[in-house]
Structure 1
Amino acid sequence: MAVSYRGDRFLTIDGAAPPVWSPFSGFWRTRDGWIRTHGNYPHHARALLSGLGLQPDADADHVRTALASLASGEGVAAITASGGLAVPVLRERPEDDRALRATPLLDIARLSPAYSVERRTSATAEQPLRGFRVLDLTRVIAGPVCTRTLALFGADVLRIDPPDLPEPEWQHFDTGHGKRSAVLDARSSQFRDLLETADAVVLGYRPAALDRLGLGPDELAHRYPGLVVAQLSAWGTDQPERAGFDSLVQAESGIALVESPDGHTPGVLPAQALDHSAGYLLAAAVTTLLQRRTREGGTWRVRTSLRRVAAELLGMPRADDPAPEEAFDPSPHLTHFTVGGRDVVTARPALAGTDFAPPRRWGRDQPVW
């Protein structure tokens, strides 16, 4: 499980570790504190530089200088106004976390009365989702971990990405196991045809952006009765326009300062634990709801957020003096693939006795079941 949660640290392509973090992703000192930015995607990096009034060829030193003269709120406002991603590094707020923990970790609802569906499955004890079709509309880590797990359980998972937003190769190799991957406009009739015969759809984009495309859970339930809809967001549906990633939620929720090495400088968890926890939780819920739908029918929705997972983590017991990390041999927990002529090494599944099918090349499959 530990290696799976830290899979990006063990990933190699042709024997080399890929550059996981952009120089524009990280903690930056401001005039009155710290902020955290995320610039791994080129369009987010461009927006960050534009928001700070920097040239497109500016480097990390230019960003550091620009932010050092600004208050944290000013820096965050400037970057986000240009479409970039930045949050203040804050201390934890126990009252907020208690309020979040009073809400379900997995918010499950039945969106329509019993609706029988054709039984298309050929499930086995080892592959309980064999025969189910899952449309994967997610990116980065949490959503892809969910759908990678559904594929491990035998589901036919088809990942769809928009034509104008390519995925870094390494990122898809890390979480693309067992899925097919295609590029398709979500406004096309071909995309609607996929939804017509899908059993489940996993959503990982901003709630407001999905609503504008007619892909919110309520709209999907109305148009495609019998569907299981899993929705993941960074901040929750009460902040529908807000984009985010694990690292940003760690920073704003207080985790970064809990992990501080000195009480002042932000730190990080030893894994993208919010992403992986959310992904596995959603996979368990989708598996359960698909089986429940087979027995009872109905249209179902489950949702969670990275922020809700962070509140759960912040409510758990903590060690006053954590034990230092011990060295270990990860090789028994790694698996090797050849993908498009590339030698790819990734973490093995967290579930003992199971093995991933190889990841495929991103965007190279046809958008059909």
Structure 2
Amino acid sequence: MADTEDAATAHAWAALGGRARLVRRVSFQEAGPVLPSRLPVRELARACVGVSSLAAAELLALRNRLPVPAVRVDEAAVATAFVSERRLRIDGRAPTSFAPLSGFWRTTDGWVRTHANYPHHRARLLGALGIADTGGDREPVGVLAKELASRQAREVQETVYAAGGLAVAVASAPAAAGPALVETPQVTEGGHRSPAPASLPAQGVRVLDLTRVIAGPVATRSLALLGADVLRVDTPRIPEDPDAHADTGPGKRSTLLDLTSTGDRHVFEDLLGRADVVVTGYRPGALDRHGLSPEVLLAKRPGLIVAQLCAWGWSGPWAGRRGFDSLVQAGTGIASIEAGPDGRPGALPAQALDHGTGYLLGAAVLRALSDRLTTGGGRHLRLSLAGTASWLLHDIRPAQETAGTYDPGHWLTETGSPYGLLRHALPPVHYTGAPANWDRAPTRWGTDAPSWA
């Protein structure tokens, strides 16, 4: 058990605005060489879970007027949770992580990384490059490889981006320091809440979850574990991978609303009018056309906490671009650092930018809830995968190697669900008295009523 203050945890806690002395409440149960990488992924992962756990402990203590309970971060639990989508089994079946057209491809001057897991991204990628979509993958893989091998990486990147697809030239060196880890651009007056005793930190907190894929859903999955009433709202126009929802849906409910429909918009506004937290996972400005900018949301509901997540940061030429963990790894130089002996770009041992940012986002919401109880006011919070990547590349130092044998099986459990029998990772967020598992299995995506519990 490591009892000395962890530098990465202290850095993240300071970025969240937490009191420095509380970091001493966090200890670590080491598990040997977990999440092995050239970069300090283990240190990032345990710090992100550590501050999420500490923020939960702080809020619980504040609500009950008690001392902050101790936090213990088990590195084995963290390592298992950071690859939860890979550990998941549904009736014994392993989900598919990446589609055949998602990956690294040679170009005339280097490499490009594509992302085509969703049908619309696949169609845009192939269309941008003039490749016929036959509906299968075997033929397009060969044709795509040949086409990309005849082009320059940045040409591919810009051509595919212009068509609404996803491709990023692999950076050959680490990017310069990027966005801040956590930004709080706006604090509003009003909305002061008196602490109400609770058995869980976020008990009674209503969270409107407007996120997709991994990072945002990981954040709201943690909030659900800690007692929040989390309602995920998606458009019926964009499909979701059911395996992804089976992984990130525990503890939540899920509904579909078309915000261009008058009836659905009325329902959404009613939900918004009683929400405590809104979490979004779209690129900057994407929700503004629906009247859902942070400024509008905070004006409508004083005291609201608006927590935003994006891929590339909130300013600069890439701010408005779509992105995923694998693409940010490619664009920031991480993929080159993790390259194999043959020079082929590599990847971190987990989608650590997604999972890490998810736990940080959850921690930011919990800290904002604590601040609202003490000083009042709403909060606007911003995080990004690029900010987490910059932290990993420039600010985290490797910790001393530890001995031990990592057994992920100890941190997996089985839960019945509408999807079938799930074998899934247990939550790594832990403080004295924390729940050991979610109180409900994931429901099927989009099948719940659009109402608060």
Residue 235 in structure 1 maps to residue 312 in structure 2: yes
Determine the structure 1 residue equivalent to 2:407: 329
How do residues 287-306 of structure 1 correspond to structure 2 at under 5 angstroms?
A: 287-306=366-385
- 1:12-46 C-alpha deviation (Å, 9 max, x unpaired): 11101011211111001011110001101110000
Structure 1 SS opposite 2:446: coil
Name 1:20's counterpart in structure 2.
97
Matched, 1:123 2:198: yes
- Per the alignment, residue 21 of structure 2 pairs with none
Deviation, structure 1 residue 283: 0.6
User: In structure 2, what is the equivalent of residue 174 of structure 1?
Assistant: 247
2:285 partner SS: helix
Is 2:106 aligned against 1:29?
yes
TM value normalised by structure 1: 0.92
RMSD over aligned CA atoms reads 2.2
Which is further off, 54-63 or 225-234? 54-63
Alignment correspondent of 1:210: 287
Amino acid in the other structure paired with 1:339: S
Q: Percent identity?
A: 47
Unaligned 5+ residue runs, structure 1?
A: none
Aligned residue identity for 1:207: P
Provide the residue aligned with 2:17 in structure 1: none
Change (3 A) 1:150 1:341: closer
* CA shift in 2, pair 1:104/1:53, >3 Å: closer
What's 1:200 paired with?
A: 277
Q: Find the counterpart in structure 1 of residue 220 from structure 2.
A: 147
Whole-Å Cα distance in 1 between the matches of residues 195 and 244 of structure 2? 32
- From 132, 149, 153, the equivalent of 1:68 is 149
Deviations, residues 344-366 of structure 1 (Å, cap 9, x unaligned): 11110012452123222111101
Aligned position for 2:445? 362
Gaps of 5+ in 2: 1-77
1:78 Cα deviation from its structure 2 partner: 2.0
Q: Is the 8 A contact 1:26 1:38 kept in 2?
A: yes
Name the SS for the 1:17 alignment partner. coil
Q: Which of the residues 308, 323, 327 maps onto 1:248? A: 327
Distance 2:285 2:115 in 1: 20
**Separation in 1 of the partners of 2:267 and 2:157?**
39
AA of the residue aligned to 2:164: G
Task: Please state how far the C-alpha of 1:171 moved relative to its aligned partner.
Answer: 0.2
Deviations 1:26-77 (A, max 9, x none): 0010111100011011100000010110111152111111111111122112
Residues in 2 aligned to 1:318 and 1:302: alpha-carbon distance in whole angstroms: 26
Distance 1:14 1:245, change over 3 A: same
Q: Does 1:270 align with 2:346?
A: no
- Between stretches 354-363 and 59-68, larger displacement belongs to 354-363
How far did residue 122 of structure 1 move? 5.3
Q: Which moved more, 1:258-267 or 1:144-153?
A: 258-267
Task: Report if aligned partners of 1:29, 1:64 keep a CA contact under 8 Å in 2.
Answer: yes
Secondary structure, in 3 states, of the residue corresponding to 2:286? helix
The answer as to whether partners of 2:284 and 2:314 remain within 8 angstroms in 1 is yes
Indicate the SS of the match to 2:101.
coil
Moved more, 336-345 or 199-208: 336-345
Q: Deviations over 1:153-175 (max 9, x none)?
A: 10000000001112111000111
- Runs in 1 of length 4+ with deviation above 6 angstroms? none
Taking the aligned partners of 1:115 and 1:182, their CA distance within structure 2 comes to: 27
Please point out which of 66, 78, 81 is paired with 2:162: 81
Partner of 1:346: 424
Q: How many residues align?
A: 359
TM-score (norm. length: structure 2): 0.75
Amino acid aligned to 1:258: I
Give how far 1:116 is off: 3.2
Q: What's the CA shift for 1:114?
A: 3.1
Farther-moved stretch of structure 1 (153-162 vs 350-359): 350-359
CA contact (8 A) 2:246 2:419 kept: no
Q: Is the 8 A contact 2:419 2:444 kept in 1?
A: no
Q: Which residue of structure 2 lines up, in the alignment, with residue 47 of structure 1?
A: 124
Please say if residues 90 and 419 of structure 2, whose CA atoms lie closer than 8 Å, have aligned partners that are also in contact.
Answer: no
Q: Tell me, what secondary structure is at the counterpart of 1:114?
A: coil
After superposition, give the CA deviation of every residue in 1:72-126 in whole Å (9 maximum; x if it has no partner): 12211221121110110002345x21xx3xx641112443223335x695522xx
Q: 1:157 aligns to what?
A: 230
CA distance in 1: counterparts of 2:404 and 2:148, whole angstroms: 37
Which amino acid in 2 is paired with 1:356?
Answer: W
2:343 is equivalent to residue 260 of structure 1 = no
Q: 1:349 to 1:110 in 2, by over 3 A?
A: same
